[in-house]
Every structure is written in structure tokens, then in C-alpha cells.
């Protein structure tokens, strides 16, 4: 990475994935990379952008694990959001937590390089948004980042089959991409169970992430479907926009996750 200010912790997050059928690392009881079974990743799409550095500091101090960074181009999806300069600004601000860049842009390869340089830790993209899925995944991994594919509600998981050796993350959209604050699509739970089976059957050291409509009252059900990284935007980043308020929500989510399997 050209971005020099990443700490050792952020660099650890960029370790490449094992090949298919490799023995997963025994770092968590779920046998996934990282130091926790479940990662909570608030989406800064719901942040107050006039105070973005403060918002990110507060959510991390409140117990969030990952900064989820939604990039939209008003082409692949009907919205326009933020780019690599904002990612770099967060690193310059002092953010050392993993930054999970979700590219909702087409084409993707130029954006991948820009976000590698800006200090991204994980980069995911939609298979429909590139002409060469394998090449784009390899580009991410060559830059030292975790790589993953994003599946819209109607997109088949079949895209993952022949690039599974390059997948560190499978991200399932539980809303249609483009806007925050949408309701969770229940059929995503069936898809999550299928994705979990795919990961387990192939012995992949791969996180299963979900994005859209996750909140305190459904996060346990989401985890029981096999998901281990949860994106939540408006469920966490909302008024009164204080560290204490964010902690109340994140703690409540952790309490629900602690009930999984019990």
C-alpha cells in the first residue's frame, strides 16, 4: 500500500485469504479471520458528513469494529456518494480501524486502485459491474486488501464458484443498493444460509457480510442464518448522534448476538 499511515492493526486486516479447502484459522469460534466471531460495521452513509471524523471516532469508541464505506456513482446505482479522498481523509484524521469499501460503481478497476492508495482495508464490488471478475479480485489482493463480491437481492451466488480462492468476503445485499434506511428483504436469509453452506463446504476462510435493514430486533436471526459481519447504518448512526447513544445500540446488538445458538 502507498498509504503510509496505516497502523499494524490495519495491516493485519489485509492478510490474504487461504486457498479453498485450507484449514481455517482458529482465531474465533466461528473459524473466520479477525479477532471476533461477529463484526459490526456501521455505514457512514448515515453519518453527519459535516462532522464525519467525529462521527467515526464516536462509533468506534462505542464498540464498532469496522467502518463501512459505501461508494455510489449515480450510474451503477441511482445515487452519488463519496470517493477515495474521503477515505484518505479518515486515515489522515487518525482512523486506524478497518475501512470496508463497498463499490457500487461501474467500471470498478480504476476505483479499486484509488481506494487501495487511499487506505482501504477491504474492497468489495458487484460482479455485474466488471467485465473480468477474477482480474478485479486479484487487483484488490495485489494491493494488500481483503477482496470480496457483493450480491444484490436477485443476483445468483453462482458468480462465486470459480473465484472462491480469491474471496475473503461474500457480501449479501438485503436491500436494493442505492439508498440507506430501506427495509430488510426477508428472502435474504435463505440466501445467507446457502452462502454459509458454500463457504463451509469449500473450507473457505471467508466472512459472510450482510448490508441493509439490519437492526437490533433482527440481528440475531441474521446471525443464525450464518452471517458474521453486519452492516448497519441508520439503526446506529441516528439522533442524538452521541457516542453514548451509539454504544447503547451496539451493546444491544452484541447482547442479541450473544444469544445465537442458545
Active site amino acids: 70, 211
Q: Where are the beta strands (DSSP E) in 155-245?
A: 169-173, 207-211, 229-232
**Minimal CA–CA distance to 211: which of 236, 229, 237?**
229
Annotated binding-site residue? 136? no
75 is in an annotated binding site: no
What are the CA-CA distances from residue 120 to residues 21, 23, 68, 139, 186 (Å)? 27, 27, 10, 13, 30
Q: How far apart are CA 33 and CA 25, in angstroms?
A: 7
* Residue 92 annotated in ligand binding: no
- Phi and psi at 123, nearest 5°, equal -135, 125
Is 43 marked as binding a ligand? yes
Say whether 53 counts as a known binding-site residue.
no
57 marked ligand binding residue? no
Residue 228, annotated ligand binder?
no
Q: Is 148 annotated as a binding residue?
A: no
User: Quick one: angle between helices 109-118 and 133-142, nearest 10?
Assistant: 10
d(CA 160, CA 85): 30
Q: Is 37 exposed, middle or buried (0-12, 13-18, 19+ CB in 10 A)?
A: middle
Phi, psi at 122, each rounded to 5° = -125, 140
HSE toward the beta carbon, residue 224, CA cutoff 13 A: 10
Q: Classify 206 as helix, strand or coil.
A: coil
Among 261, 234, 259, 260, which residue's Cα sits nearest to residue 249?
A: 234
Q: Which residues are annotated as a binding site?
A: 43, 68, 70, 102, 178-181, 211, 213, 233-234
Q: Which residues are annotated as a binding site for substrate?
A: 43, 102, 178-181, 213, 233-234
Q: Which residues are annotated as a binding site for a divalent metal cation?
A: 68, 70, 102, 211
Amino acid at each position: 500500500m502507498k498509504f503510509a499511515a496505516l497502523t499494524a492493526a490495519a495491516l493485519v486486516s489485509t492478510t490474504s485469504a487461504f486457498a479453498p479447502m485450507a484449514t481455517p484459522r482458529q482465531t474465533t469460534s466461528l473459524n473466520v479471520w479477525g479477532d471476533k466471531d461477529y463484526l459490526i460495521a456501521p455505514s457512514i452513509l448515515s453519518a453527519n458528513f459535516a462532522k464525519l471524523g467525529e462521527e467515526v471516532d464516536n462509533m468506534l469508541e462505542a464498540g464498532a469494529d469496522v467502518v463501512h464505506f459505501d461508494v455510489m456513482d449515480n450510474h451503477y446505482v441511482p445515487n452519488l456518494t463519496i470517493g477515495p479522498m474521503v477515505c484518505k481523509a479518515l486515515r489522515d484524521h487518525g482512523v486506524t480501524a478497518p475501512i470496508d469499501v463497498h463499490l457500487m460503481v461501474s467500471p470498478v478497476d480504476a476505483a479499486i486502485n484509488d481506494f487501495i492508495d487511499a487506505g482501504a482495508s477491504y474492497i468489495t464490488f458487484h460482479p455485474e459491474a466488471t467485465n473480468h471478475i477474477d482480474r478485479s479480485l486479484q487487483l484488490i489482493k495485489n494491493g494488500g486488501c481483503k477482496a470480496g463480491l457483493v450480491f444484490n437481492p436477485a443476483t445468483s451466488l453462482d458468480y462465486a464458484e470459480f473465484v472462491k480462492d480469491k474471496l475473503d468476503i461474500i457480501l449479501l445485499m438485503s436491500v436494493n443498493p442505492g439508498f440507506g434506511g430501506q427495509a430488510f428483504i426477508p428472502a435474504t436469509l435463505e440466501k445467507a444460509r446457502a452462502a454459509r453452506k458454500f463457504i463451509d463446504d469449500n473450507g473457505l476462510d471467508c466472512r459472510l457480510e450482510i448490508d441493509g435493514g439490519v437492526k437490533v430486533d433482527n440481528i440475531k436471526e441474521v446471525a443464525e442464518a450464518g452471517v458474521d459481519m453486519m452492516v448497519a447504518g441508520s439503526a446506529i448512526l441516528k439522533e442524538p448522534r452521541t457516542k453514548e447513544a451509539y454504544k447503547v445500540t451496539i451493546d444491544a446488538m452484541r447482547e442479541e448476538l450473544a444469544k445465537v445458538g442458545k
